Amino acid sequence: MANKWVYKFTEGRASMRNLLGGKGCNLAEMTYMGMPIPQGFTITTEACTAYYDNGKGLPQEVLDQIDENIAWLEEINGKKFGDPNDPLLVSVRSGARASMPGMMDTILNLGLNDIAVEGFAKKTNNERFAYDSYRRFIQMYSDVVMEVSKSLFEKEIDDVKAKKGITYDVEMDVDDLKELVRRFKGIYKNALGEDFPQEAKKQLIGAVLAVFRSWDNPRAIVYRRMNDIPGSWGTAVNVQTMVFGNKGETSGTGVAFTRNPSTGAKGIFGEYLLNAQGEDVVAGVRTPQPISTLENAMPAVYKQFMELATKLENHFHDMQDMEFTIEEGKLYFLQTRDGKRTAPAAIKIACDLVDEGQIDEQTAVKRIDAKSLDQLLHPSFDAEALKAGQVIGTALPASPGAAAGKVVFDADEAKAQGIGGAGERVILVRLETSPEDIEGMHAAQGILTVRGGMTSHAAVVARGMGTCCVSGCGDIVIDEEAKVFTLGGETFHEGDYISLDGTTGKIYKGDIATKEAEIGGDFGRVMAWADKYRKLKVRTNADTPADAAKARELGAEGIGLCRTEHMFFAEDRIAAFREMICSDTVEEREKALEKIEPYQQGDFEKLYEAMEGNPVTIRFLDPPLHEFVPNTEEEIKKLADTQGKSVQQIKDIIAGLKEFNPMMGHRGLRLAITYPEIARMQTTAVIRAAIKVAKAHPDWNLVPEIMIPLSCDEKELAFVRNIVVETADKEIAAAGADLKYEVGTMIEIPRAALTADKIANQAEFFCFGTNDLTQMTYGFSRDDAGKFLDSYYSNKIFESDPFAKLDQVGVGKLMEMAVDLGKKSRPQLHAGICGEHGGDPSSIEFCHRIGLDYVSCSPFRVPIARLAAAQAALKD
Amino acid sequence: MANKWVYKFTEGRASMRNLLGGKGCNLAEMTYMGMPIPQGFTITTEACTAYYDNGKGLPQEVLDQIDENIAWLEEINGKKFGDPNDPLLVSVRSGARASMPGMMDTILNLGLNDIAVEGFAKKTNNERFAYDSYRRFIQMYSDVVMEVSKSLFEKEIDDVKAKKGITYDVEMDVDDLKELVRRFKGIYKNALGEDFPQEAKKQLIGAVLAVFRSWDNPRAIVYRRMNDIPGSWGTAVNVQTMVFGNKGETSGTGVAFTRNPSTGAKGIFGEYLLNAQGEDVVAGVRTPQPISTLENAMPAVYKQFMELATKLENHFHDMQDMEFTIEEGKLYFLQTRDGKRTAPAAIKIACDLVDEGQIDEQTAVKRIDAKSLDQLLHPSFDAEALKAGQVIGTALPASPGAAAGKVVFDADEAKAQGIGGAGERVILVRLETSPEDIEGMHAAQGILTVRGGMTSHAAVVARGMGTCCVSGCGDIVIDEEAKVFTLGGETFHEGDYISLDGTTGKIYKGDIATKEAEIGGDFGRVMAWADKYRKLKVRTNADTPADAAKARELGAEGIGLCRTEHMFFAEDRIAAFREMICSDTVEEREKALEKIEPYQQGDFEKLYEAMEGNPVTIRFLDPPLHEFVPNTEEEIKKLADTQGKSVQQIKDIIAGLKEFNPMMGHRGLRLAITYPEIARMQTTAVIRAAIKVAKAHPDWNLVPEIMIPLSCDEKELAFVRNIVVETADKEIAAAGADLKYEVGTMIEIPRAALTADKIANQAEFFCFGTNDLTQMTYGFSRDDAGKFLDSYYSNKIFESDPFAKLDQVGVGKLMEMAVDLGKKSRPQLHAGICGEHGGDPSSIEFCHRIGLDYVSCSPFRVPIARLAAAQAALKD
């Protein structure tokens, strides 16, 4: 039996979305509901896949079934395709499973040719209308199907109008339009070397192929990558009988939502134009009317529209985005779909629908795009102010929110001028950031870097802080010394204003007004529902008491990752730490570390306090020592004096720390193997802090978790664990306290996952550091991969960034293996994730599936994780 | 029932080596054979393990069983331990499963004390002998057991002799020796705060503990690591009744081999000293006599010795290394073991034993240490000349052989002065080497680097060339600009002579004479036997026709890895390659690549010719582009002129190529994704060369193998494979040829192994690049890990270098997984290894076990691999 490649609208239902695409299945559903729909048919997404499998050609079966369905359309409309006297005209639209910008635009009026246009004119008794339809068709077909530049056509329109001395398209008469048709066909022939196709079927097949081709255009690929849509889905094509909104003042066309897509407020929201077709509504030539005015213009149509719109929402149980056309007083729906909405609207609509009894809590939880919550928690640009904004570049949307301020080029300057300093709004612009920029980053409104990907230092730290960041803007030419950069043809000096949108990655010239986030009560309701259904705990990655408090406020149930090294960069501590690095003996190192211990202890006390008895995981020192060494001659001199060494000796020490591949160098627990005294100091600080806080809060069950980073071998981990246990037990005994603590490890090296049964002998918990694990599993340096991953996306090799969305096939296989092996040797083992993926919904779903206990993410992603965890649990 | 921790010699057999150690089991076997053996007992290796498990204390059971056995020894000797009148004296010796230098020295005369020495004097009627024995015992015990410095004792001996005006120890009389005993006890008390132990049992336990402790001294740990001996084996302790070779002119002591350990020549080879004990033979105070002179001195003893020595060799079927003592005309054997031998001797002895019918071919193959073959294939120092050599430093033995020459500091200088230039012998001394040093490395006798481990660039390339290399000598302070380095307190300028031993890692001052390797006919016999039994094929890693020819001569059955990038560094090619790097368009890049194509094709033709129809695997470009860019201002200027760009533009391009972690950066097939034209050019060259050579040799079945490096994903590999297949098929069709070819991939990224079922869809073969795979699996940069791995060894975390000996637990797990998954989706998949591990015997055994088809190693390791592969097969 032949495959069925084409479905009439009468043959489908809403449930057939995967096969018919969103537009197609809803047209079918509306037909089923008895709505007024111009009939047509849908060529399936499977036909699209077949087209690609077939070396980009349509199988004969598909062609045959299109023919059959055209014949059916001819029959029910009583018109013939290509008929010189009364031609059947159709529209052709793309329609994938998920709504996708970047796909092929609509083609209207398909079926017209030099002869049929005359018949059409006679039949409609409107020659101007017929020729206007024809010239629009040639224009759309040439542009959309044959990729002939739009501007060539616009130039001719301008020329015809200029010659006549008229301003608006509507002022053109039949002769003008005939002239345009002549000229447009000339452009077509000139560009493509052949005449504009006169045969309706040829036009149709051309349009269908163009839709399928557009599935793979670069914009579509980028969009799919950003939105986790697999390339294998394909798009459907909808062929629909034309109805005309441009037949005079009893005709019109419009778009409407059943609720306000920006605010979520209930009530029809939309606009329409009389005597207009398709793109006229959005093209901005005439100003569309608000939908309410239709009540006066055509009361019956208005009433019918309102009833049917409500019927649609009640049927689909969600806010609908509808297109409609009125042809000579008769209303047609051309499309309906669940309306896109802002995050605040999504929250409000979900709550309202629950209150209206349309959906239940679970559905409300499932329906909100977890990622979109980011919008709720950060400042955004004032919509009015943004309209005047001049985009000078676009790079990676590394940390969401909007920011505007004066450009500064180094962290010290940011500190001096920014928050906590002079109080100015500043944007820190850097080639790349490093740990010693932290204070400057804190003082800035936003951060812009030339190098580095979504998980570069700047991106990770900024997300942690909730600070807007745009990273990896390779188009910038920067001279940090001279304090100047150029981008998009503009030059910026220190003090010039720029604005950043960390949600879109856009960079603007000038100072664009921003507004603070507003979190309403509905947000809290949705979060409470989410908490009710999720199984995963949600912790936060926080290094400072402020971050911890923010995360707690956003619902974090503990700290999953405290990166202790960030605590070493304050001025008084870094000095002691550098002394340690430059020491020659264990004793000297211990002396230097003793100076740091009280600071660390104090930090930890504050974190415990902020977390109110919830678990706090402290990761021991991770980065290589060369990240801590001084860079300037002045600092080096100072260190040399402190250490009683020559400047050259200090420089030799610094040079000796240089590494070829620092990511795979002397870092993580490797430092504790070489310098056990560092681990001893950190253990002392963790335990003393816990004893003190536990004493102050006897009702809290404080069990500090010490996390050893970067282990790859049981014996290696045992060595460090022994140091920790020995030190901790001594401290606890000395204090006469009764404190429990746990020692665990990051699983971030493939070998740790491969040998997790052994590793678990030395670890009470695992925490997946999926940033590093992804790096090592792919052999991708996250700081360098940005340069070549673009080619992977454009060649459709990768559809998403493995650093942003967990690679479940490879990295995930290691994680599953690690959980299984680990629990085999230690059934009580608890496991979490604290890489960047801990805040990514699809990755959270995977974590839920493989049985992790918690995810940990930056404070501002905590609500996302709570919602995503609930969605994962509800999927089961 | 109690464990048995102690075995009498009468209770053991040779088969109990793991339990009794080598020395103990052979003493037992000799006792079983009825040889004249002073009786005693062995404390087992399990007791050693128990000692460590017990927190470094002997379990009571062990102590009890020692007591029982001492009682037995007292009984059979008719003497009491510690008896004031006739004390039982014993020796205490370590004895692990494998012979291990660095373990505790022997303690003789244990059981003497202030009173027993008097009884001993009376009983032996030799007061001088008794006190000499006692002072020796105190000295040995203090030094070996209690770690009191030897020099303190030697100072006292010198002082006593000086006061008396005598030169030799033997000139000291009883009073002198009594005085020494008094002084030695003083040293002991002074150093340890307590009297020298007078109780025999306390002495014994002290000595036993010292043996167990010595299992873990740093020298022993290093030795174990170098020789793949696990720390869990432990050592046994042998306690044996003393016999005395120093009782006068009818007594003596000696060591002998049943065959010459240097040459393998048949015939007893050894020496002895009359009236001497223990270390006197090797101490060099008196010159020992050759064993043949014993025939005249004591004909009966000589006759008995010769008979028993032959009996031993016939019993053990191997060359024996024996210790013996003659006490007042009676011969005792104290030890026998399979004698250590040089590689040439091992070959000759194995062949002779086969010819004598003592062993079969398989045994001969199994018995030769595969690693030692290295010695046969490279120059070595002249033994006489080496005696005067002054060691100035020691670093990693990166590539075996000996070399001497004038120091040069850069590759160009090496080229100018060295082989192919002025013809001088030069040693290239560098901070580190990079690909553009290749020609200079070829021109040098030896290479010395400051940085880099056993698998650094210098090490890998040098081994490939068969050039001596010592790497990672961190003690060197070098100024490459000023052309000077210091090491071991000596300063060397360009032109000064140094000598390197790449087999030991030693660096010598001056010009030490070397001699060429001599490979005899026996070597060929052993290799032929090995080839008969092995199942693994052995290929070579070769980039040049010369390397390929050398490898073929050494038995390579194909090329497993040709690194094409090494072909890009010749002057005319690098210019074109740099043009490619600096091109702005595909067309420009293609133009530059076209210039390189004929060179590559020519190289490949020569490789095919050298391999005579055997498989040749060509790996496509692997290193990141920044390895190819010019470094000097002059070169940059030249490139700028060629490219019609400014110097700044070229510098910007170079800066843009910089990477944070180049090992995980834009390299391998990632280059082919971004620049498909590189893969096209290389495919063209491979295929054209193959077509040409196949035409010239119609009898060869030439099937070129194209290997894509660094894949991690099926789609990624498919993308490059498609380019290769398209290009190759076009070339083959254009030539009207009938050429088969294969496309495969390196498995060197964990994700490739994890998804090998998918990867195999796009690969006809896998080749494990275990250098990179080890790096990624451990997260160790091989260029940086040297710095911290020392702590891993000294803390007993790692017992071997994972870059030298394959990690079977982690990396091996990935390899097994990859083979299994790969064969599941492509049963005909063939697989090999071409990392450094391809030449390491234990790794080769693993490759055999997991079912690889071949190993590929540097040319000079081919014989090692052939032998190791045979040994692995024979182990089955």
Residue in B with minimal Cα distance to A817: B754
Q: Looking at residue B455, what is its pLDDT?
A: 67
Q: What percent of chain A has pLDDT over 70?
A: 98
* CB atoms B754 and A661 under 8 Å: no
pLDDT above 60 for A865 = yes
Rounded Cα distance, B428 and B415, in Å: 10
Among B473, B648, B666, pick the best mutation site for testing chain A contact (most A Cβ within 10 A): B666
pLDDT above 60 for A104 = yes
For the stretch B127-179, pLDDT in tens is: 999 999 999 999 999 988 998 988 899 899 999 999 998 887 778 899 999 99
**Residue A368 resides in a domain:** no
Measure CB to CB from residue A666 to each of B772, B784, B814 and give the nearest one. B784
pLDDT above 60 for A750 = yes
Measure CB to CB from residue A781 to each of B659, B716, B749 and give the nearest one. B659
* CB atoms B781 and A664 under 8 Å: yes
Pair A654, A668 in one domain: no
CA dihedral A388, A393, A395, A398 (to 10 degrees): -40
Pair B198, B272 in one domain: no
pLDDT above 80 for A225 = no
* CB atoms A666 and B779 under 8 Å: no
**Residue B426 resides in a domain:** yes
Interface A-B, measured as beta-carbon pairs within 8 A, has a size of 171
CATH number, residue A605: 3.20.20.60
Closest by Cα among A705, A744, A769 to A822: A744
**Residue B483 resides in a domain:** yes
Residue in A with minimal Cα distance to B773: A779
Helix, strand, coil tally for chain B in percent (to 5): 50, 20, 30
pLDDT above 70 for A455 = no
* CB atoms B797 and A660 under 8 Å: no
The answer to whether A854 and A558 have CB atoms below 8 angstroms apart is: yes
Beta bridge partners of residue B91, listed in sequence order: B240
Pair B491, B541 in one domain: no
Domain count, chain A: 5
pLDDT above 90 for B11 = yes
CATH number, residue A383: 3.50.30.10
What is the secondary structure of B364-418 as a DSSP string?
A: HHHHS-GGGGHHHHS-EE-HHHHHT-EEEEE-EEEE-SEEEEEEE-SHHHHHHHS
**Residue A353 resides in a domain:** no
Residues of B in contact with A755 (CB under 8 A): 809-810, 813
Residue in A with minimal Cα distance to B663: A661
Q: Looking at residue B287, what is its pLDDT?
A: 74
pLDDT bucket at A425, cuts 50 / 70 / 90: very high
Report ipTM (2 d.p.).
0.81
Q: Which tops the pLDDT comparison, A558 or A472?
A: A558
**Residue B125 resides in a domain:** yes
pLDDT bucket at B691, cuts 50 / 70 / 90: very high
Q: Distance from B463 to chain A by nearest Cα, in Å?
A: 22
pLDDT bucket at A685, cuts 50 / 70 / 90: very high
Instruction: Indicate the helix (H) or strand (E) that contains A595.
Output: helix A586-611
pLDDT above 90 for A378 = no
Rounded Cα distance, B336 and B322, in Å: 4
Among B748, B754, B792, pick the best mutation site for testing chain A contact (most A Cβ within 10 A): B754
* CB atoms A788 and B660 under 8 Å: no
For the stretch B452-467, pLDDT in tens is: 777 678 887 888 788 9
**Residue B10 resides in a domain:** yes
Span B492-508, mean pLDDT?
94
Measure CB to CB from residue A664 to each of B755, B779, B811 and give the nearest one. B779
Closest by Cα among A777, A753, A755 to A831: A753
Q: Looking at residue A16, what is its pLDDT?
A: 96
Q: Looking at residue A282, what is its pLDDT?
A: 54
Residue B313, judged by CB atoms within 10 A of its CB (0-12, 13-18, 19+), counts as buried
Q: Looking at residue B281, what is its pLDDT?
A: 61
Q: A241, A261, A282: which is the final residue of a domain?
A: A241
Rounded Cα distance, B208 and B200, in Å: 12
Beta bridge partners of residue A563, listed in sequence order: A619
Rounded Cα distance, A657 and B784, in Å: 10
- State the catalytic residue, choosing from B834, B837, B847, B857: B834
Residues of B in contact with A666 (CB under 8 A): 784, 787-788
Q: Distance from B777 to chain A by nearest Cα, in Å?
A: 5
Q: Is A457 a catalytic residue?
A: yes
Pair B168, B65 in one domain: yes
Residues of B in contact with A788 (CB under 8 A): 666, 670, 673-674
Measure CB to CB from residue B664 to each of A663, A670, A795 and give the nearest one. A663
Helix, strand, coil tally for chain A in percent (to 5): 50, 20, 30
Exposure letters A21-52 (e unless 16+ CB within 10 A, then b):
bbbbbbbbbbbbbebebbebbbbbbbbbbbbb
* CB atoms B751 and A779 under 8 Å: yes
Pair B651, B669 in one domain: no
Strand order through the sheet with A107-110: A6-8, A40-43, A235-241, A90-96, A107-110
Backbone angles phi, psi at A426, to 5 degrees: -125, 150
Q: Distance from A312 to chain B by nearest Cα, in Å?
A: 42
pLDDT above 80 for A436 = no
Pair A176, A61 in one domain: yes
Mean of all residue pLDDT scores within chain B: 92
Question: Binding site membership of B: which residues?
Answer: 563, 619, 748, 769-772
Mean of all residue pLDDT scores within chain A: 92
* CB atoms A666 and B787 under 8 Å: yes
CATH number, residue B127: 3.30.1490.20
* CB atoms A662 and B666 under 8 Å: no
Pair A447, A550 in one domain: no
Q: Distance from A480 to chain B by nearest Cα, in Å?
A: 15
| Local structure of B591: helix, strand or coil | helix
CATH number, residue A315: 3.30.470.20
Pair B698, B757 in one domain: yes
Pair B755, B721 in one domain: yes
Q: Looking at residue B466, what is its pLDDT?
A: 81
Q: What percent of chain B has pLDDT over 90?
A: 74
Q: Looking at residue B159, what is its pLDDT?
A: 93
CA A601, chain centre distance (Å): 38
Q: A241, A273, A292: which is the final residue of a domain?
A: A241
- Measured from the Cβ of residue A808, the count of other Cβ atoms closer than 10 Å reads 17
What is the secondary structure of B239-264 as a DSSP string?
A: EEE---S-SSTT-EEEEEEEE-TTT-
Pair B260, B300 in one domain: yes
**Residue B162 resides in a domain:** yes
pLDDT bucket at B351, cuts 50 / 70 / 90: very high
Q: Looking at residue B283, what is its pLDDT?
A: 52
For the stretch B220-262, pLDDT in tens is: 887 787 777 888 899 999 999 999 998 888 999 998 999 998 8
**Residue A373 resides in a domain:** no
Closest by Cα among A106, A382, A83 to A255: A106
Q: Distance from A771 to chain B by nearest Cα, in Å?
A: 13
pLDDT bucket at B704, cuts 50 / 70 / 90: very high
Q: Is A834 a catalytic residue?
A: yes
For the stretch A243-295, pLDDT in tens is: 999 888 899 999 899 999 888 999 998 889 888 877 666 555 567 888 999 99
Pair B654, B672 in one domain: no
> Can you list the positions of beta strands (E) in A654-731?
705-708
Closest by Cα among A705, A688, A665, A531 to A600: A688
Span A410-415, mean pLDDT?
91
For the stretch B366-385, pLDDT in tens is: 999 998 888 788 888 988 89
Q: Token pair for residue B840?
A: 């390491």
Q: Which tops the pLDDT comparison, B563 or A98?
A: B563
Domain housing B507: 379-515
Pair B62, B172 in one domain: yes
